[in-house]
Structure 1
Protein backbone atom coordinates (compact mmCIF):
# COMPACT_ATOMS: atom_id res chain seq x y z
CA UNK A 1 0.00 0.00 0.00
CA UNK A 2 2.85 2.41 0.79
CA UNK A 3 6.40 2.89 -0.43
CA UNK A 4 9.32 5.04 0.67
CA UNK A 5 10.71 6.80 -2.39
CA UNK A 6 13.83 8.93 -2.51
CA UNK A 7 13.06 12.52 -3.51
CA UNK A 8 15.38 12.17 -6.52
CA UNK A 9 13.15 9.40 -7.86
CA UNK A 10 9.76 10.81 -6.92
CA UNK A 11 9.18 12.60 -10.23
CA UNK A 12 9.95 9.42 -12.20
CA UNK A 13 7.87 7.17 -9.93
CA UNK A 14 4.84 9.46 -10.00
CA UNK A 15 5.14 9.99 -13.75
CA UNK A 16 5.48 6.25 -14.34
CA UNK A 17 2.49 5.48 -12.10
CA UNK A 18 0.38 8.13 -13.84
CA UNK A 19 1.25 6.67 -17.27
CA UNK A 20 0.42 3.12 -16.15
CA UNK A 21 -2.92 4.33 -14.74
CA UNK A 22 -3.76 6.12 -18.01
CA UNK A 23 -2.81 3.03 -20.03
CA UNK A 24 -4.91 0.80 -17.77
CA UNK A 25 -7.97 3.07 -18.13
CA UNK A 26 -7.47 3.12 -21.89
CA UNK A 27 -7.37 -0.69 -21.97
CA UNK A 28 -10.54 -0.90 -19.85
CA UNK A 29 -12.33 1.53 -22.15
CA UNK A 30 -11.36 -0.36 -25.30
CA UNK A 31 -12.26 -3.80 -23.92
CA UNK A 32 -15.27 -3.12 -21.73
CA UNK A 33 -16.86 0.23 -22.66
CA UNK A 34 -16.77 0.80 -26.40
CA UNK A 35 -19.84 -0.67 -28.17
CA UNK A 36 -21.34 -1.96 -24.89
CA UNK A 37 -24.97 -1.55 -23.82
CA UNK A 38 -26.02 0.28 -20.65
CA UNK A 39 -26.94 -3.07 -19.13
CA UNK A 40 -23.50 -4.52 -19.86
CA UNK A 41 -21.84 -1.45 -18.38
CA UNK A 42 -23.49 -2.07 -15.01
CA UNK A 43 -21.26 -5.10 -14.44
CA UNK A 44 -17.73 -4.43 -13.19
CA UNK A 45 -15.60 -6.28 -15.77
CA UNK A 46 -12.28 -6.47 -13.92
CA UNK A 47 -11.64 -7.43 -10.30
CA UNK A 48 -8.88 -4.82 -10.09
CA UNK A 49 -11.51 -2.08 -10.35
CA UNK A 50 -13.86 -1.27 -7.48
CA UNK A 51 -17.58 -0.81 -8.24
CA UNK A 52 -17.32 2.87 -7.27
CA UNK A 53 -14.35 3.51 -9.56
CA UNK A 54 -16.05 1.69 -12.44
CA UNK A 55 -19.19 3.74 -12.01
CA UNK A 56 -17.16 6.95 -12.05
CA UNK A 57 -15.17 5.87 -15.12
CA UNK A 58 -18.31 4.98 -17.08
CA UNK A 59 -19.95 8.27 -16.10
CA UNK A 60 -16.90 10.21 -17.25
CA UNK A 61 -16.61 8.33 -20.55
CA UNK A 62 -20.29 9.06 -21.25
CA UNK A 63 -20.01 12.75 -20.37
CA UNK A 64 -19.45 15.48 -22.95
CA UNK A 65 -16.08 16.25 -21.35
CA UNK A 66 -15.04 12.61 -21.61
CA UNK A 67 -16.16 12.35 -25.24
CA UNK A 68 -14.32 15.58 -26.11
CA UNK A 69 -11.11 14.38 -24.45
CA UNK A 70 -11.34 11.02 -26.26
CA UNK A 71 -11.84 12.73 -29.62
CA UNK A 72 -8.91 15.06 -28.98
CA UNK A 73 -6.71 12.11 -28.04
CA UNK A 74 -7.58 10.28 -31.25
CA UNK A 75 -6.84 13.40 -33.29
CA UNK A 76 -3.49 13.90 -31.54
CA UNK A 77 -2.47 10.31 -32.26
CA UNK A 78 -3.36 10.71 -35.94
CA UNK A 79 -1.13 13.78 -36.18
CA UNK A 80 1.88 12.08 -34.58
CA UNK A 81 4.59 11.49 -37.16
CA UNK A 82 7.46 10.26 -35.00
CA UNK A 83 6.43 7.21 -33.01
CA UNK A 84 8.34 5.24 -30.39
CA UNK A 85 10.19 2.62 -32.46
CA UNK A 86 12.53 0.96 -29.95
CA UNK A 87 9.98 -1.57 -28.73
CA UNK A 88 9.96 -2.17 -24.99
CA UNK A 89 13.23 -0.27 -24.54
CA UNK A 90 12.91 3.24 -23.15
CA UNK A 91 15.07 6.07 -24.44
CA UNK A 92 16.88 6.04 -21.10
CA UNK A 93 17.77 2.36 -21.55
CA UNK A 94 18.89 2.87 -25.15
CA UNK A 95 21.03 5.81 -24.02
CA UNK A 96 22.60 3.71 -21.25
CA UNK A 97 23.39 0.86 -23.67
CA UNK A 98 24.97 3.32 -26.12
CA UNK A 99 27.04 4.77 -23.26
CA UNK A 100 28.30 1.31 -22.27
CA UNK A 101 29.09 0.42 -25.90
CA UNK A 102 30.75 3.65 -27.01
CA UNK A 103 32.33 4.79 -23.75
CA UNK A 104 30.64 8.20 -23.59
CA UNK A 105 27.12 9.51 -22.84
CA UNK A 106 25.38 9.93 -26.22
CA UNK A 107 23.93 13.24 -27.33
CA UNK A 108 20.15 13.41 -27.79
CA UNK A 109 20.40 13.47 -31.58
CA UNK A 110 22.41 10.24 -31.44
CA UNK A 111 19.76 8.57 -29.27
CA UNK A 112 17.07 9.85 -31.62
CA UNK A 113 18.78 8.42 -34.68
CA UNK A 114 19.42 5.11 -32.94
CA UNK A 115 15.77 4.70 -31.95
CA UNK A 116 14.33 5.94 -35.25
CA UNK A 117 16.19 3.65 -37.63
CA UNK A 118 15.13 0.28 -38.99
CA UNK A 119 16.93 -2.47 -37.07
CA UNK A 120 17.51 -4.58 -40.21
CA UNK A 121 18.59 -1.95 -42.74
CA UNK A 122 19.71 0.98 -40.59
CA UNK A 123 17.57 3.31 -42.72
CA UNK A 124 15.16 5.84 -41.15
CA UNK A 125 11.95 4.13 -40.01
CA UNK A 126 9.62 6.70 -41.61
CA UNK A 127 9.48 9.74 -43.87
CA UNK A 128 9.32 12.00 -40.81
CA UNK A 129 12.40 10.29 -39.34
CA UNK A 130 14.25 10.65 -42.64
CA UNK A 131 13.49 14.39 -42.65
CA UNK A 132 14.83 14.70 -39.10
CA UNK A 133 17.98 12.74 -40.00
CA UNK A 134 18.57 15.24 -42.82
CA UNK A 135 18.06 18.21 -40.49
CA UNK A 136 20.54 16.73 -38.02
CA UNK A 137 23.08 16.08 -40.77
CA UNK A 138 22.72 19.63 -42.10
CA UNK A 139 23.08 21.12 -38.62
CA UNK A 140 26.21 19.03 -38.00
CA UNK A 141 27.77 20.48 -41.16
CA UNK A 142 26.59 24.05 -40.65
CA UNK A 143 27.25 24.36 -36.92
CA UNK A 144 29.73 21.67 -35.80
CA UNK A 145 30.36 23.58 -32.57
CA UNK A 146 26.94 22.42 -31.34
CA UNK A 147 28.30 18.88 -31.09
CA UNK A 148 30.40 20.03 -28.12
CA UNK A 149 27.50 21.62 -26.25
CA UNK A 150 25.62 19.87 -23.46
CA UNK A 151 21.84 19.75 -23.15
CA UNK A 152 22.10 22.63 -20.66
CA UNK A 153 24.02 24.72 -23.18
CA UNK A 154 21.59 24.06 -26.02
CA UNK A 155 23.08 21.12 -27.90
CA UNK A 156 22.45 20.25 -31.53
CA UNK A 157 19.14 18.44 -31.03
CA UNK A 158 17.62 21.55 -29.44
CA UNK A 159 18.20 23.36 -32.74
CA UNK A 160 16.36 20.85 -34.96
CA UNK A 161 13.26 20.24 -32.82
CA UNK A 162 10.43 22.33 -31.50
CA UNK A 163 10.18 23.47 -27.88
CA UNK A 164 9.89 20.67 -25.33
CA UNK A 165 6.49 19.93 -23.82
CA UNK A 166 5.95 20.59 -20.12
CA UNK A 167 7.36 17.81 -17.95
CA UNK A 168 8.93 15.89 -20.84
CA UNK A 169 12.21 16.02 -22.74
CA UNK A 170 12.62 14.17 -26.02
CA UNK A 171 15.03 11.21 -25.99
CA UNK A 172 15.67 11.42 -22.24
CA UNK A 173 13.15 8.85 -21.02
CA UNK A 174 10.40 9.19 -18.44
CA UNK A 175 11.09 11.57 -15.57
CA UNK A 176 13.41 14.44 -16.51
CA UNK A 177 11.81 17.77 -17.33
CA UNK A 178 13.45 20.65 -19.19
CA UNK A 179 13.70 22.56 -15.93
CA UNK A 180 15.17 19.70 -13.89
CA UNK A 181 17.86 19.26 -16.55
CA UNK A 182 18.66 22.97 -16.48
CA UNK A 183 17.89 23.54 -20.14
CA UNK A 184 18.11 27.07 -21.48
CA UNK A 185 15.06 29.25 -20.94
CA UNK A 186 13.60 27.13 -18.11
CA UNK A 187 13.21 27.56 -14.38
CA UNK A 188 13.55 24.70 -11.92
CA UNK A 189 9.95 24.28 -10.87
CA UNK A 190 8.02 21.13 -10.06
CA UNK A 191 7.16 19.47 -13.37
CA UNK A 192 3.62 19.64 -14.70
CA UNK A 193 3.63 15.85 -14.90
CA UNK A 194 4.44 15.51 -11.20
CA UNK A 195 1.90 18.16 -10.24
CA UNK A 196 -0.82 16.32 -12.19
CA UNK A 197 0.11 12.96 -10.71
CA UNK A 198 0.03 14.36 -7.17
CA UNK A 199 -3.30 16.03 -7.85
CA UNK A 200 -4.81 12.77 -9.13
CA UNK A 201 -3.57 10.97 -6.02
CA UNK A 202 -5.48 13.32 -3.68
Structure 2
Protein backbone atom coordinates (compact mmCIF):
# COMPACT_ATOMS: atom_id res chain seq x y z
CA UNK A 1 0.00 0.00 0.00
CA UNK A 2 1.35 3.40 -0.98
CA UNK A 3 2.24 6.10 1.54
CA UNK A 4 -0.91 7.83 2.82
CA UNK A 5 0.68 10.14 5.34
CA UNK A 6 -0.66 13.03 3.22
CA UNK A 7 -3.96 12.61 5.08
CA UNK A 8 -2.28 14.24 8.13
CA UNK A 9 -0.77 17.11 6.11
CA UNK A 10 -2.07 20.66 5.84
CA UNK A 11 -5.06 20.79 3.53
CA UNK A 12 -3.54 23.48 1.31
CA UNK A 13 -0.19 21.73 0.94
CA UNK A 14 0.98 20.23 -2.38
CA UNK A 15 1.27 16.76 -0.78
CA UNK A 16 -2.32 16.89 0.41
CA UNK A 17 -3.73 18.02 -2.94
CA UNK A 18 -1.75 15.33 -4.81
CA UNK A 19 -2.98 12.76 -2.27
CA UNK A 20 -6.58 13.82 -2.89
CA UNK A 21 -6.01 13.39 -6.62
CA UNK A 22 -4.61 9.87 -6.01
CA UNK A 23 -7.62 8.96 -3.85
CA UNK A 24 -10.15 10.22 -6.42
CA UNK A 25 -8.51 8.17 -9.19
CA UNK A 26 -8.54 5.10 -6.94
CA UNK A 27 -12.21 5.60 -5.99
CA UNK A 28 -13.36 6.04 -9.59
CA UNK A 29 -11.48 2.91 -10.67
CA UNK A 30 -12.41 0.57 -7.81
CA UNK A 31 -15.66 1.69 -6.19
CA UNK A 32 -19.26 2.12 -7.29
CA UNK A 33 -19.96 5.44 -9.00
CA UNK A 34 -23.71 6.16 -8.92
CA UNK A 35 -24.92 8.96 -11.20
CA UNK A 36 -21.45 10.53 -11.07
CA UNK A 37 -21.32 10.31 -7.25
CA UNK A 38 -18.97 8.52 -4.85
CA UNK A 39 -18.93 8.10 -1.09
CA UNK A 40 -17.40 11.23 0.37
CA UNK A 41 -14.67 10.52 2.99
CA UNK A 42 -14.58 14.06 4.36
CA UNK A 43 -14.98 14.77 8.09
CA UNK A 44 -18.52 16.03 7.47
CA UNK A 45 -19.94 13.24 5.26
CA UNK A 46 -18.06 10.46 7.08
CA UNK A 47 -18.43 8.01 4.14
CA UNK A 48 -22.19 7.99 4.74
CA UNK A 49 -23.20 10.34 1.94
CA UNK A 50 -22.65 10.21 -1.82
CA UNK A 51 -21.41 13.40 -3.47
CA UNK A 52 -20.60 14.41 -7.03
CA UNK A 53 -16.90 13.88 -7.64
CA UNK A 54 -16.17 17.60 -7.87
CA UNK A 55 -18.15 18.21 -4.66
CA UNK A 56 -16.31 15.37 -2.92
CA UNK A 57 -12.99 17.02 -3.85
CA UNK A 58 -14.24 20.37 -2.46
CA UNK A 59 -15.37 18.64 0.76
CA UNK A 60 -12.05 16.86 1.27
CA UNK A 61 -10.16 20.13 0.75
CA UNK A 62 -12.55 22.21 2.88
CA UNK A 63 -13.45 19.85 5.74
CA UNK A 64 -10.49 17.47 5.68
CA UNK A 65 -10.05 13.76 4.96
CA UNK A 66 -11.10 11.29 7.70
CA UNK A 67 -7.93 10.95 9.77
CA UNK A 68 -8.26 7.21 10.50
CA UNK A 69 -9.48 6.22 7.05
CA UNK A 70 -6.19 4.87 5.75
CA UNK A 71 -7.58 1.59 4.38
CA UNK A 72 -10.10 2.60 1.70
CA UNK A 73 -12.45 -0.36 2.05
CA UNK A 74 -15.52 1.81 1.31
CA UNK A 75 -13.98 2.58 -2.07
CA UNK A 76 -13.10 -0.94 -3.20
CA UNK A 77 -9.84 -1.68 -1.40
CA UNK A 78 -9.96 -5.29 -0.22
CA UNK A 79 -8.89 -6.68 3.13
CA UNK A 80 -6.38 -9.37 2.18
CA UNK A 81 -6.72 -12.69 4.05
CA UNK A 82 -3.18 -12.35 5.36
CA UNK A 83 -4.12 -8.97 6.89
CA UNK A 84 -7.50 -9.91 8.33
CA UNK A 85 -6.59 -13.31 9.81
CA UNK A 86 -10.11 -13.90 11.10
CA UNK A 87 -13.75 -13.48 10.22
CA UNK A 88 -14.74 -10.95 12.86
CA UNK A 89 -14.72 -11.63 16.63
CA UNK A 90 -17.00 -14.65 16.11
CA UNK A 91 -14.77 -16.15 13.43
CA UNK A 92 -14.97 -19.81 12.46
CA UNK A 93 -12.14 -21.27 14.55
CA UNK A 94 -12.21 -24.69 12.92
CA UNK A 95 -11.73 -23.21 9.47
CA UNK A 96 -8.88 -21.00 10.70
CA UNK A 97 -6.97 -24.02 12.01
CA UNK A 98 -6.76 -25.44 8.51
CA UNK A 99 -3.49 -25.00 6.68
CA UNK A 100 -3.39 -22.94 3.52
CA UNK A 101 -3.56 -26.04 1.33
CA UNK A 102 -6.15 -27.82 3.48
CA UNK A 103 -9.82 -27.44 2.58
CA UNK A 104 -13.16 -28.79 3.67
CA UNK A 105 -14.85 -30.91 1.01
CA UNK A 106 -18.47 -29.89 0.48
CA UNK A 107 -21.00 -32.25 -1.03
CA UNK A 108 -23.86 -30.80 -3.06
CA UNK A 109 -27.04 -32.30 -4.50
CA UNK A 110 -28.17 -32.19 -8.12
CA UNK A 111 -29.57 -28.68 -7.57
CA UNK A 112 -26.23 -27.30 -6.34
CA UNK A 113 -27.35 -27.10 -2.68
CA UNK A 114 -24.85 -28.11 0.05
CA UNK A 115 -25.68 -31.36 1.87
CA UNK A 116 -23.80 -33.73 4.13
CA UNK A 117 -21.86 -33.16 7.34
CA UNK A 118 -19.97 -30.09 6.08
CA UNK A 119 -23.06 -28.25 4.80
CA UNK A 120 -23.78 -26.49 8.10
CA UNK A 121 -20.14 -25.46 8.47
CA UNK A 122 -20.21 -24.13 4.91
CA UNK A 123 -23.27 -21.93 5.52
CA UNK A 124 -21.90 -20.86 8.91
CA UNK A 125 -18.67 -19.67 7.34
CA UNK A 126 -20.61 -17.61 4.76
CA UNK A 127 -22.62 -16.15 7.66
CA UNK A 128 -19.42 -15.08 9.40
CA UNK A 129 -18.34 -13.29 6.23
CA UNK A 130 -21.73 -11.56 6.02
CA UNK A 131 -21.30 -10.25 9.59
CA UNK A 132 -17.73 -9.06 9.07
CA UNK A 133 -17.89 -5.27 8.52
CA UNK A 134 -14.53 -5.29 6.74
CA UNK A 135 -15.56 -7.98 4.26
CA UNK A 136 -19.13 -6.73 3.75
CA UNK A 137 -19.36 -3.08 4.90
CA UNK A 138 -22.65 -1.86 6.35
CA UNK A 139 -22.36 1.49 4.61
CA UNK A 140 -23.92 -0.08 1.52
CA UNK A 141 -27.63 -0.49 2.05
CA UNK A 142 -28.56 -2.92 -0.73
CA UNK A 143 -26.84 -5.95 -2.22
CA UNK A 144 -26.91 -4.24 -5.62
CA UNK A 145 -24.98 -1.28 -4.19
CA UNK A 146 -22.18 -3.48 -2.87
CA UNK A 147 -19.24 -3.23 -5.32
CA UNK A 148 -18.30 -6.38 -7.22
CA UNK A 149 -14.84 -6.31 -5.65
CA UNK A 150 -16.35 -7.22 -2.25
CA UNK A 151 -18.42 -10.04 -3.77
CA UNK A 152 -15.35 -11.41 -5.54
CA UNK A 153 -13.46 -11.27 -2.24
CA UNK A 154 -16.20 -13.31 -0.52
CA UNK A 155 -16.01 -15.96 -3.23
CA UNK A 156 -12.21 -16.10 -3.00
CA UNK A 157 -12.36 -16.53 0.79
CA UNK A 158 -14.88 -19.35 0.42
CA UNK A 159 -12.68 -21.10 -2.16
CA UNK A 160 -9.72 -20.87 0.22
CA UNK A 161 -11.53 -22.97 2.85
CA UNK A 162 -13.98 -25.15 0.91
CA UNK A 163 -13.98 -27.17 -2.27
CA UNK A 164 -16.37 -29.41 -4.15
CA UNK A 165 -17.15 -30.15 -7.81
CA UNK A 166 -20.69 -28.79 -7.54
CA UNK A 167 -20.07 -25.69 -5.40
CA UNK A 168 -21.38 -22.74 -7.43
CA UNK A 169 -20.65 -19.06 -7.04
CA UNK A 170 -24.32 -18.23 -7.73
CA UNK A 171 -25.49 -20.20 -4.68
CA UNK A 172 -22.77 -18.71 -2.47
CA UNK A 173 -23.72 -15.17 -3.52
CA UNK A 174 -27.43 -15.79 -2.88
CA UNK A 175 -26.69 -17.27 0.53
CA UNK A 176 -24.34 -14.43 1.42
CA UNK A 177 -26.87 -11.80 0.32
CA UNK A 178 -29.63 -13.46 2.36
CA UNK A 179 -27.49 -13.72 5.51
CA UNK A 180 -26.25 -10.14 5.09
CA UNK A 181 -29.84 -8.87 4.93
CA UNK A 182 -30.69 -10.91 8.04
CA UNK A 183 -27.69 -9.40 9.82
CA UNK A 184 -28.81 -5.87 8.97
CA UNK A 185 -32.31 -6.76 10.21
CA UNK A 186 -30.87 -7.93 13.54
CA UNK A 187 -28.90 -4.70 13.86
CA UNK A 188 -32.09 -2.72 13.23
CA UNK A 189 -33.77 -4.62 16.09
CA UNK A 190 -30.77 -3.87 18.31
CA UNK A 191 -31.00 -0.17 17.44
CA UNK A 192 -34.76 -0.06 18.14
CA UNK A 193 -34.10 -1.61 21.55
CA UNK A 194 -31.16 0.55 22.67
CA UNK A 195 -31.52 3.70 20.51
CA UNK A 196 -28.21 5.30 21.55
CA UNK A 197 -25.12 4.61 19.44
CA UNK A 198 -22.90 3.86 22.44
CA UNK A 199 -25.40 1.37 23.80
CA UNK A 200 -25.69 -0.38 20.43
CA UNK A 201 -21.92 -0.73 20.15
CA UNK A 202 -21.73 -2.06 23.70
CA UNK A 203 -24.38 -4.76 23.24
CA UNK A 204 -23.41 -5.84 19.71
CA UNK A 205 -21.42 -9.10 19.78
CA UNK A 206 -19.52 -8.14 16.62
CA UNK A 207 -17.16 -5.18 16.65
CA UNK A 208 -18.50 -2.73 14.08
CA UNK A 209 -16.57 0.48 13.38
CA UNK A 210 -18.27 3.59 14.73
CA UNK A 211 -18.44 5.22 11.31
CA UNK A 212 -20.34 2.20 9.95
CA UNK A 213 -22.73 2.29 12.90
CA UNK A 214 -23.39 6.00 12.31
CA UNK A 215 -24.01 5.44 8.61
CA UNK A 216 -26.32 2.50 9.35
CA UNK A 217 -28.34 4.43 11.95
CA UNK A 218 -28.60 7.38 9.59
CA UNK A 219 -30.09 5.01 7.01
CA UNK A 220 -32.47 3.45 9.57
CA UNK A 221 -33.87 6.92 10.33
CA UNK A 222 -34.78 7.71 6.72
CA UNK A 223 -38.46 7.65 5.77
CA UNK A 224 -37.85 5.17 2.97
CA UNK A 225 -36.08 2.72 5.30
CA UNK A 226 -38.80 2.97 7.95
CA UNK A 227 -41.54 2.37 5.38
CA UNK A 228 -39.70 -0.64 3.98
CA UNK A 229 -39.21 -2.02 7.49
CA UNK A 230 -42.94 -1.75 8.25
CA UNK A 231 -43.78 -3.35 4.92
CA UNK A 232 -41.43 -6.28 5.62
CA UNK A 233 -42.90 -6.65 9.10
CA UNK A 234 -46.42 -6.80 7.67
CA UNK A 235 -45.38 -9.37 5.06
CA UNK A 236 -43.77 -11.49 7.76
CA UNK A 237 -46.97 -11.37 9.82
CA UNK A 238 -48.87 -12.75 6.81
CA UNK A 239 -46.76 -15.92 6.74
CA UNK A 240 -49.30 -18.72 7.16
CA UNK A 241 -47.12 -21.82 7.35
CA UNK A 242 -43.85 -21.16 9.26
CA UNK A 243 -41.43 -24.09 9.38
CA UNK A 244 -39.48 -25.34 12.40
CA UNK A 245 -36.30 -26.72 10.79
CA UNK A 246 -34.05 -24.04 12.29
CA UNK A 247 -30.68 -23.89 10.52
CA UNK A 248 -31.12 -27.23 8.77
CA UNK A 249 -31.97 -26.72 5.10
CA UNK A 250 -34.65 -28.61 3.20
CA UNK A 251 -31.88 -30.02 1.00
CA UNK A 252 -30.11 -31.56 4.01
CA UNK A 253 -33.41 -32.92 5.33
CA UNK A 254 -34.13 -34.65 2.02
CA UNK A 255 -30.60 -36.02 1.80
CA UNK A 256 -30.84 -37.49 5.32
CA UNK A 257 -34.09 -39.27 4.46
CA UNK A 258 -32.55 -40.74 1.29
CA UNK A 259 -29.46 -41.82 3.28
CA UNK A 260 -31.77 -43.77 5.61
CA UNK A 261 -32.79 -45.89 2.62
CA UNK A 262 -36.19 -44.35 1.97
CA UNK A 263 -37.32 -42.78 -1.34
CA UNK A 264 -36.91 -39.04 -1.66
CA UNK A 265 -39.91 -37.46 0.12
CA UNK A 266 -42.46 -35.58 -1.92
CA UNK A 267 -43.15 -31.89 -1.46
CA UNK A 268 -46.22 -32.68 0.62
CA UNK A 269 -44.25 -35.04 2.87
CA UNK A 270 -41.49 -32.46 3.41
CA UNK A 271 -44.13 -29.85 4.24
CA UNK A 272 -45.52 -32.10 6.98
CA UNK A 273 -42.04 -32.94 8.35
CA UNK A 274 -40.98 -29.28 8.54
CA UNK A 275 -44.24 -28.01 10.06
CA UNK A 276 -44.78 -30.65 12.73
CA UNK A 277 -42.95 -30.89 16.07
CA UNK A 278 -41.59 -34.13 17.52
CA UNK A 279 -44.78 -34.38 19.56
CA UNK A 280 -46.89 -34.00 16.42
CA UNK A 281 -48.05 -30.44 17.14
CA UNK A 282 -48.40 -27.65 14.56
CA UNK A 283 -47.42 -24.03 15.06
CA UNK A 284 -50.83 -22.61 14.16
CA UNK A 285 -54.34 -23.62 13.14
CA UNK A 286 -53.81 -22.88 9.43
CA UNK A 287 -50.87 -25.27 9.31
CA UNK A 288 -52.86 -27.98 11.09
CA UNK A 289 -55.74 -27.65 8.63
CA UNK A 290 -53.35 -27.76 5.66
CA UNK A 291 -51.65 -30.91 6.96
CA UNK A 292 -55.04 -32.56 7.50
CA UNK A 293 -55.98 -31.84 3.87
CA UNK A 294 -52.60 -33.14 2.65
CA UNK A 295 -52.97 -36.38 4.60
CA UNK A 296 -56.47 -36.85 3.20
CA UNK A 297 -55.27 -36.31 -0.38
CA UNK A 298 -52.27 -38.61 0.10
CA UNK A 299 -54.50 -41.40 1.43
CA UNK A 300 -56.47 -41.27 -1.83
CA UNK A 301 -53.41 -41.75 -4.09
CA UNK A 302 -53.57 -45.07 -5.99
CA UNK A 303 -51.03 -47.65 -4.84
CA UNK A 304 -47.66 -47.25 -6.55
CA UNK A 305 -48.37 -43.69 -7.74
CA UNK A 306 -45.93 -40.99 -6.53
CA UNK A 307 -46.85 -37.41 -5.85
CA UNK A 308 -44.11 -35.94 -8.05
CA UNK A 309 -43.48 -32.16 -8.09
CA UNK A 310 -45.94 -30.47 -10.41
CA UNK A 311 -48.08 -27.30 -10.54
CA UNK A 312 -51.06 -29.54 -9.67
CA UNK A 313 -49.48 -31.83 -7.07
CA UNK A 314 -51.03 -32.28 -3.61
CA UNK A 315 -49.09 -29.43 -1.97
CA UNK A 316 -50.01 -26.93 -4.69
CA UNK A 317 -53.67 -27.89 -4.48
CA UNK A 318 -53.72 -27.38 -0.71
CA UNK A 319 -51.59 -24.25 -0.07
CA UNK A 320 -51.70 -22.66 -3.51
CA UNK A 321 -49.28 -22.21 -6.42
CA UNK A 322 -45.57 -21.51 -6.05
CA UNK A 323 -44.36 -17.94 -6.05
CA UNK A 324 -42.61 -16.76 -9.19
CA UNK A 325 -39.11 -18.25 -9.40
CA UNK A 326 -39.57 -20.49 -6.32
CA UNK A 327 -40.42 -24.12 -5.61
CA UNK A 328 -42.09 -24.89 -2.28
CA UNK A 329 -40.04 -27.05 0.17
CA UNK A 330 -36.89 -27.05 -1.99
CA UNK A 331 -35.25 -23.90 -0.68
CA UNK A 332 -32.91 -21.43 -2.31
CA UNK A 333 -31.20 -22.18 -5.59
CA UNK A 334 -33.89 -24.38 -7.15
CA UNK A 335 -35.65 -23.09 -10.26
CA UNK A 336 -39.19 -24.07 -11.32
CA UNK A 337 -37.80 -25.04 -14.74
CA UNK A 338 -36.00 -27.97 -13.07
CA UNK A 339 -39.38 -29.55 -12.29
CA UNK A 340 -42.07 -27.88 -14.38
CA UNK A 341 -42.35 -26.57 -17.91
CA UNK A 342 -40.25 -23.45 -17.91
CA UNK A 343 -42.35 -20.31 -17.68
CA UNK A 344 -41.39 -17.53 -20.09
CA UNK A 345 -39.33 -14.70 -18.68
CA UNK A 346 -40.57 -11.14 -18.52
CA UNK A 347 -38.55 -10.15 -21.57
CA UNK A 348 -39.92 -13.13 -23.50
CA UNK A 349 -43.45 -12.20 -22.48
CA UNK A 350 -42.82 -8.63 -23.66
CA UNK A 351 -41.65 -9.91 -27.04
CA UNK A 352 -44.67 -12.21 -27.29
CA UNK A 353 -46.92 -9.32 -26.34
CA UNK A 354 -45.38 -7.10 -29.02
CA UNK A 355 -45.87 -9.82 -31.66
CA UNK A 356 -49.49 -10.34 -30.60
CA UNK A 357 -50.14 -6.59 -30.70
CA UNK A 358 -48.67 -6.45 -34.19
CA UNK A 359 -50.86 -9.35 -35.28
CA UNK A 360 -53.88 -7.70 -33.68
CA UNK A 361 -53.18 -4.41 -35.46
CA UNK A 362 -52.82 -6.37 -38.70
CA UNK A 363 -56.16 -8.03 -38.10
CA UNK A 364 -57.79 -4.68 -37.34
CA UNK A 365 -56.42 -3.29 -40.62
CA UNK A 366 -57.82 -6.27 -42.54
CA UNK A 367 -61.22 -5.85 -40.86
CA UNK A 368 -61.21 -2.15 -41.73
CA UNK A 369 -60.35 -3.02 -45.34
CA UNK A 370 -63.13 -5.60 -45.53
CA UNK A 371 -65.61 -3.12 -44.04
CA UNK A 372 -64.49 -0.46 -46.53
CA UNK A 373 -64.90 -2.90 -49.44
CA UNK A 374 -68.29 -3.94 -48.13
CA UNK A 375 -69.39 -0.32 -47.85
CA UNK A 376 -68.24 0.34 -51.43
CA UNK A 377 -70.19 -2.66 -52.72
CA UNK A 378 -73.28 -1.47 -50.83
CA UNK A 379 -72.94 1.95 -52.45
CA UNK A 380 -72.61 0.33 -55.86
CA UNK A 381 -75.67 -1.83 -55.21
CA UNK A 382 -77.63 1.21 -54.08
CA UNK A 383 -76.58 3.07 -57.25
CA UNK A 384 -77.55 0.07 -59.42
CA UNK A 385 -80.86 -0.21 -57.62
CA UNK A 386 -81.53 3.46 -58.26
CA UNK A 387 -80.83 3.02 -61.97
CA UNK A 388 -83.12 -0.02 -62.10
CA UNK A 389 -85.86 2.00 -60.45
CA UNK A 390 -85.35 4.82 -62.96
CA UNK A 391 -85.50 2.34 -65.86
CA UNK A 392 -88.62 0.81 -64.39
CA UNK A 393 -90.23 4.24 -64.24
CA UNK A 394 -89.30 4.88 -67.90
CA UNK A 395 -90.64 1.46 -68.92
CA UNK A 396 -93.88 2.15 -67.11
CA UNK A 397 -94.20 5.53 -68.87
CA UNK A 398 -93.51 3.89 -72.21
CA UNK A 399 -96.10 1.20 -71.56
CA UNK A 400 -98.62 3.85 -70.63
CA UNK A 401 -97.90 5.74 -73.89
CA UNK A 402 -98.34 2.56 -75.93
CA UNK A 403 -101.63 1.82 -74.22
CA UNK A 404 -102.84 5.36 -74.83
CA UNK A 405 -101.93 5.19 -78.53
CA UNK A 406 -103.69 1.88 -78.93
CA UNK A 407 -106.75 3.25 -77.21
CA UNK A 408 -106.79 6.35 -79.46
CA UNK A 409 -106.41 4.17 -82.58
CA UNK A 410 -109.42 2.17 -81.69
Does 1:186 pair with 2:186? no
Q: Which residue of structure 1 aligns with residue 313 of structure 2? A: 155
Q: Which residue of 2 aligns with 1:138?
A: 296
Deviation at 1:101, TM superposition (A): 1.9
Change (3 A) 1:41 1:98: same
Name the larger-Rg structure: 2
Matches of 2:321 and 2:304, distance apart in 1: 17
Is 1:96 aligned to 2:267, yes or no?
Answer: no
**Cross-structure match for 1:171:** 329
- Residue in 2 aligned with 1:64? 223
| Residues 90 and 19 of structure 1: CA distance in aligned 2, closer, same or farther (over 3 Å) | same
C-alpha separation between the residues in 1 aligned to 2:318 and 2:335?
Answer: 18
Describe how 1:14-93 pairs up with structure 2 within 5 A: 14-37=173-196, 40=198, 49-50=208-209, 53-93=212-252
Q: Decide whether aligned partners of structure 1 residues 10 and 135 sit closer, same or farther in structure 2, where only a CA change above 3 A counts.
A: farther
Residue 8 (structure 2) aligns with = none
Tell me, in whole angstroms, the C-alpha distance in 2 between the residues paired with 1:106 and 1:66: 41
1:140–1:147 contact (8 Å) kept in structure 2 = no
* Residue 25 of structure 1, CA deviation: 0.6
Q: Distance in 2 between matches of 1:188 and 1:75?
A: 28
- Measured at CA, do residues 10 and 164 of structure 1 come closer, stay the same or move farther in structure 2, by a change above 3 Å? farther
- Per the alignment, in what secondary structure is the counterpart of residue 70 of structure 1? helix
Q: After TM superposition, give the deviation of residue 131 of structure 1 in Å.
A: 0.9
* Residue pair 2:190, 2:200 contacting (<8 A) in 1 also: no
Equivalent residue, structure 2, for 1:192: none
Deviations 1:38-87 (A, max 9, x none): x6599796765455543442232111110111111221222223112123
Which structure has more relative contact order (CA 8 Å, sep 6+)? It is 1
| Residues 86-113 of structure 1: CA deviation (Å, up to 9, x unaligned) | 2332211111111222431111111111
For 1:146 and 1:112, how far apart are their aligned partners in 2? Answer: 21
- Listed as ranges, the gaps of 5+ residues in structure 2 are 1-152, 347-410
Structure 1 position 147, deviation (Å): 4.9
Equivalent residues, number? 186
- The two structures, once aligned, show a CA RMSD in angstroms of 3.4
Alpha-carbon offset, residue 126 of structure 1: 2.9
CA distance, structure 1, for counterparts of residue 304 and residue 318 of structure 2: 11
Cα distance change on mapping 1:22 and 1:42 into 2, 3 Å: closer
Which runs of no fewer than 5 residues in structure 1 stay unpaired? 190-202
